[in-house]
Amino acid sequence: MTITVAGLTPRFLALDIRRQLRNRQTLIITTVLPVILYLALFRQKGVDVRFAHGDFASWMAAGLALYGAASAATTTAAQVAVERSTGWVRTVQLTPLRPAGYLASKVIGALTVAAVPVTVIAALALATGAQVETGAFALALIIAWLGSAVFGALGLALGSVPDPAAGSSRARTSRRSWRW
């Protein structure tokens, strides 16, 4: 017997996360772009300044990890708009999955996708010799990752807003159907 919460099964969650991780465009923008920026800027002249818990490279890595996580969470969760326009949400409504389970799968998926740029940037920073206190760096990366949940919620909110053009055409259609 499969344990479900709000109709959300582990199998549906795994399939949804796998589908989100296969979105190449999102992964390129959220992972490759921060990597290119880090590699281009981490050894700039005059960056021998020490920050509170590390050097410029570690500071930049934490910032780019936050950028990657926030943009990944926002764009992943905003895919709800695409799913609505293609009819996928109507198909999901035919299953036992309740709205709370659907939203939970989107937030968990957004956090999973947001973990990719955080992990890649952290590995790159350590591989390039960024000088940083381990505890402070780990805490910064965890905060960047968990903080991306707010951006996932923003993406859900933006993706859930009804399209005004579609709404007005539906209203016109329903008014016409009442006339005859």
pLDDT tens profile 47-87: 566 667 777 888 888 899 999 999 999 988 888 888 888 88
pTM (predicted TM-score): 0.79
Per-residue pLDDT, 141: 92
Per-residue pLDDT, 155: 87
Percent of the chain with pLDDT strictly greater than 70? 84
Residue 105 phi/psi, 5-degree rounding, is -65, -35
Residue pair 72/21 in contact (Cβ under 8 Å)? The answer is: no
Pair of tokens at residue 87: 């009819």
Question: Where do we find the tokens 């996932």?
Answer: 152
Per-residue pLDDT, 170: 47
Give the integer Cα–Cα distance in Å for 164 and 154: 19
